[in-house]
Structure formats: C-alpha cells, structure tokens
Amino acid sequence: MEKATPINWEFEMITQHALDILLIVDKNQNIMFVTPSFELVLGYNPDEALGTNAFDAVHPDDREFMMEAHRKVMITEQPLTNEYRVFHKNGDLKYFESRVMPVPDHPDRLVVVSIRDITIRKSMETEIKKRKNRYEELQNSLKSFSRDLSSVLKIADMEARLLNEIKTVLPGSEPEILLFNRKQQNIEEDSLSELEPVFPQLIIGKLIYMEDRILIRIGDRNDLSYVLSLNVSSVSESMDLIWVETFVYYAVMVFESLNVIENLLKQLESALDKNERPQWILRLLFNLSEKQRLQLSSDLHDTVLLDQIDLYRGLEALLEKSEFNKEMKEDLGGVVRGLLDTIHQIRTTCNELRPPLLREIGLERALENLFDYTQVSSTYKITFRTDNTTGLSLGEEKTIGLYRIVQELLNNATKHSQAMNLHFFMKKTNDTLMLEYIDDGKGFETEKLNPSFNSMGLSSMRERVQSLDGRIEIISQPGTGVRVVIHMPIHGIDFV
C-alpha cells in the first residue's frame, strides 16, 4: 500500500471534513470528483453523483441560468458566484451559493466548484422581508387611522372606522363593540353574559386577556361602557400587540374628546340661549385642548417614540452583526432610514403639541426659537422686535395662548399671504402686553369676514384672544398686506 504523503494527508483531511461541498466538473458538465459532504448536505452518496450531470438536481427554474453561468466561466475563464435552488434527495428545497473557479490550462477544461448551503440564511432574509412588509403595513394603518379620526364627529362613526381597520389589519380578529350598562351591571348581548363579572374591572385603554378574547374598555358615555373585543389568536406578533396598544390609545383619546366636545356644546348652547357671554367656555375649550396636547405629546414620547427608537437600534445591530446580500442590505437600510424619518417626525409633532421649556424660558425666548425653526423651511423673512419686555412674567395660560396665536399667524402666512416679509413686535406698557403682526402679502377684505369669520384660522385667533380677556384688531385690504394688533392684560387668573 502506498504511503500517504503529508500533502495527500492534508488534502484528505480537508475533503473528508469540510462542511461545504467541493466538486470538480469537466467541460461536459459531468461531476468528476465530489467530497463526502455531498451526502450530508443533499442526501446522495458521493458515488451516485460521479459521472452525472452537475445540474440534474438544480431546480428547473434555475437550471438554464446555472448552465449559462457555467458556459460563461468556460469562455471568460473568470470565477463566478451565484445563488440557486437544489432539491434534496428527500424532496426538500435547498438554497445554495456556489463559486466556480476554472482550472487554468487544463486539457479537460475542468472547473472547481465550492458550494455552501445558505437555506437558513435565505429563510432569515425571507422572514425579515416579511416582517418589514408587516411593519410598514402597521405603520401605514396607524397613519391612515389617525388622519381619518380628525374628521370623525360622532361616536358611531368612530366605532365603524375602528372595527373596519381592525378587520383589515388583523384577519380573524372578529372585532366587536360591547356595551356594558354600569348601572344595571349587564351586557346588552345576552350571548356574552358569562363575561359580565369581568367588565366592572376593566380599565380604560388597558388590554385584558379573557380566555380566547382580548377586552379593552374604550370609554364611557352616560351609563354605558364601550368595550372592544377581539380574538387573542389574531395578535400573534409583538409588533401586532404594539399596533393594537397604539391603535387603542388613539381610539380612547378620540372617544374622550368626542364626549368632552358633546358636553361642552350642550353647555355652550345653554349659555347662548341665555344670551350670556360664553368666555369661560372658550377658556375651558382652549385649556382642555392644551391639556390634551400635553398628554398626547407625553404619551407619544414615552410610548410610540421609545418603541421606534428601540426598533431602530435593533435593526442597526442586526445590520452590523449579520451578513446579508446587497439587495437585502439595501432594503433594511431603507427601513432604518424610514425609522429615522418617523422618529424625527414624532419628535417634531411632540414639540408642536407642547413646545419644550415654554414655561421655563418664557414667551419671548420661545418665540425666538419658533421663528428660527420656521425660518429654515420658509420663503419669507421674519423679523422680531421687543420693547420693555425684560423680566416679562405672564401666566402659563396667556403664554401658551399668545404662542398658539403666533403659530397660527405663521401658518396663515405660509398658506395664504404670499408675503415676503413678516414683522412681529411685542411691547409691554404698564399692565398690558401688545403684540403686533405685519406682513406684505396679498391681503384680503376684512369686511367679508365679519361678524364671525371662519377662514384662515382668524376665527380661532379671535376666540382665543377673547377667552383671555384681550382685544384683537385685524386691518387689511387686497394688495396691502395684513396687520394684526393684540392687546392682552398681563395679570389675571390662570386655569391651566
């Protein structure tokens, strides 16, 4: 028996124990040599493969492509890497990555093929792509739902929109709104009477798991509690659960807002019937609105924003630690960039809902920050002057009110005025603060807006000034721009 040389011994160790398949294929595409790993990976004995066509086991849809790749290697004598599908002996489909290296100057024009099983990697890529698509679907659903809620004026409309969205996003959820009479302690649906003991314990916005159902109390109206019910099995992924929690949060906020609006409208009608000046109702409406903005800003920051940041960091870590092909890496990079845009948009929304440090830095500094931020993305020039405002101390209600008025003036200038220059002037005189706004835009006929104007947000400004016991004067004519002068008492009672 011939004694093995060190080179033969090393070669045998490599071929016997390599996990990747090594083939030698001739110019006729026949297998001349195969390593034992062929059986481990594909289930065929290496002896069965010798002399057979190297492309017999390749998936029919990939076979012509791979044969053409082999011909290309033979012509160019350059190595080539491809991914393709192969059938295991037991019928399972495998994903392979092969690198074909031509043997230079060989009379039989042999090629050496290194084959790696990438089935698990492809499965991971498919799952990631599936999750990416699902994530985008959930994100788009929340955007669409939140946008549509702005036009919902009745609880019945909100119910219909809510149920339709859940049915679409969570197939098999079978959502329904159950009405629990808190006075009589029963559910209107007799078929669900066994759940009645649970309903008094439900907390608004909190998910409670009850056998095969999830119960969420959306809100209360008169003696009835509105409870959303859906199948547990429809919420199978953590991202689905986050979507449900965020979705419910929106629904709870809208339900509460509709209740508040309905009650306040009744009070307003009563006040108007008595010919009373409903200033306190206006203040209440604006103060409730600010509290809702503050709560929504806080909740968005503490829940949705943090969830997005965690997801962003997780995807970044996945991109750094895992190997993906170029197309998948670009797709994931797009998701990461989309997440960054979403994070920025949520932060901007939070700041718009509740300007940061407004109470701490005061009105003048807050307006300077607002003008600087607006100037970056606007086509007009903003100038801001003050007189005798050093040490100005306004109550929180007036500070927020004037800040919102300036926001509305900027919004009107952006949408309607076509102005090139905006001038703001703030002056303190004794116990009165004067805020003046002048632009050089197209102007309008103020007579057409009286006695109650509703266009361009001017009605909201007038009502806000009225609620703070101030005075507002709007001066304009077509082609002369707009001048708005507001006088506000500095001292007064704050209800915020």
Write a three-state SS string for the chain.
CCCCCHHHHHHHHHHHHCCCEEEEECCCCEEEEECCHHHHHHCCCHHHHCCCECCCCECHHHHHHHHHHHHHHHHHCCCEEEEEEEECCCCCEEEEEEEEEECCCCCCCCEEEEEEECHHHHHHHHHHHHHHHHHHHHHHHHHHHHHHHCCCCCHHHHHHHHHHHHHHHCCCCCCEEEEEECCCCEECCHHHHHHHHHHHHCCECCEEEECCEEEEEEEEECCEEEEEEEEHHHCCCHHHHHHHHHHHHHHHHHHHHHHHHHHHHHHHHHHHHCCCCCHHHHHHHHHHHHHHHHHHHHHHHHHHHHHHHHHHHHHHHHHHHCCCCHHHHHHHHHHHHHHHHHHHHHHHHHHHHCCCCHHHHHHHHHHHHHHHHHHHCCCCEEEEEEECCCCCCCCHHHHHHHHHHHHHHHHHHHHHHCCCEEEEEEEEECCEEEEEEEECCCCCCHHHHCCCCCHHHHHHHHHHHHHCCCEEEEEECCCCCEEEEEEEECCCCCCC
Of 312 and 430, more confident: 430
Of 44-53, 299-308, 335-344, 360-369, the least confident: 299-308
Whether residue 343 sits in one domain with residue 274: yes
Indicate whether 52 and 163 sit together in one domain.
no
Is 317's pLDDT higher than 60? yes
pLDDT of 492 reads 57
* 425 within some domain: yes
Q: Tokens 């078929």 — which residue? A: 191
Handedness of CA 234, 238, 242, 245 (dihedral sign): positive
Among 63, 94, 117, residue at a domain's last position: 117
Same domain flag for 229 and 317? yes
The reply to whether 495 falls in a domain is no
Whether residues 152 and 296 share a domain: the answer is: yes
Whether residue 327 is found in the same domain as residue 182: yes
Residue 479 confidence class, pLDDT cut points 50, 70, 90: confident
Angle among Cα 3, 5, 11 to the nearest 5 degrees reads 120
Query: Are 140 and 209 part of one and the same domain?
Result: yes
- 186-187 and 176-181: which strand pairing? antiparallel
- Same domain for 432 and 369: yes
Task: Inform me whether the pLDDT recorded for 279 exceeds 70.
Answer: no
How do residues 145-197 score in pLDDT, each as one tens digit? 888 877 777 888 888 888 999 999 999 989 988 888 887 777 766 556 666 77
Of 353, 379, 399, the one marking the end of a domain is: 353
122: pLDDT strictly greater than 70 = yes
Selected residue with higher pLDDT from 346 and 456: 346
Instruction: Give the model's confidence band at 284: pLDDT under 50 very low, under 70 low, under 90 confident, else very high.
Output: low
- 348, 368: one domain: no
| Number of domains comprising the chain | 3
Residue 298 in domain:
yes
Angle between helical axes of 458-467 and 396-412 (0-180°, round to 10)? 170
**335 and 387, same structural domain?**
no
Do 233 and 348 lie in a common domain? yes
Residue 485: give the domain boundaries. Answer: 358-489
Residue 1 has pLDDT above 80, yes or no: no
Pairing of the two strands 207-210 and 213-221: antiparallel
Q: How far is CA 97 from CA 5, 93, 412, in A?
A: 32, 14, 60
The model's pLDDT over 410-456, given as tens digits with 9 standing for 90+, comes to 988 988 888 999 999 999 988 899 999 999 999 887 766 554 444 55
Q: Is residue 199 part of a domain?
A: yes
What distance in Å separates the CA atoms of residue 389 and residue 73, rounded to the nearest whole number?
Answer: 80
Q: Which of 91, 117, 143 is the last residue of a domain?
A: 117
Sign, CA dihedral 230-234-240-242, equals positive
Residues 447-475, mean pLDDT to the nearest whole number: 73
pLDDT digits (tens, 9 = 90+) for 253-265: 888 888 888 877 7
Q: What is the pLDDT of residue 334?
A: 79
The average pLDDT across 367-376 equals: 90
Give the integer Cα–Cα distance in Å for 11 and 494.
87
> Is 144 found in the same domain as 48?
no
pLDDT for the residue 182: 80
Residue 386 lies in a domain: yes
Domain membership of residue 401 (yes or no) is yes
CATH of the domain at 448: 3.30.565.10
Q: For residue 117, name the pLDDT band (cuts at 50, 70, 90).
A: very high
496 is a domain residue? no
CATH number at residue 53: 3.30.450.20
Q: 397, 403, 395, 396: which is closest to 435 by C-alpha?
A: 403
Instruction: Identify the CATH number of the domain in which residue 198 sits.
Output: 3.30.450.40
Whether 182 and 290 map to the same domain: the answer is yes
Distance CA 496, CA 485 (A): 25
Task: Identify the band that residue 6 occupies on the pLDDT scale cut at 50, 70 and 90.
Answer: low
Residue 494 lies inside a defined structural domain of this protein: no
Q: What does pLDDT average to over the chain?
A: 83
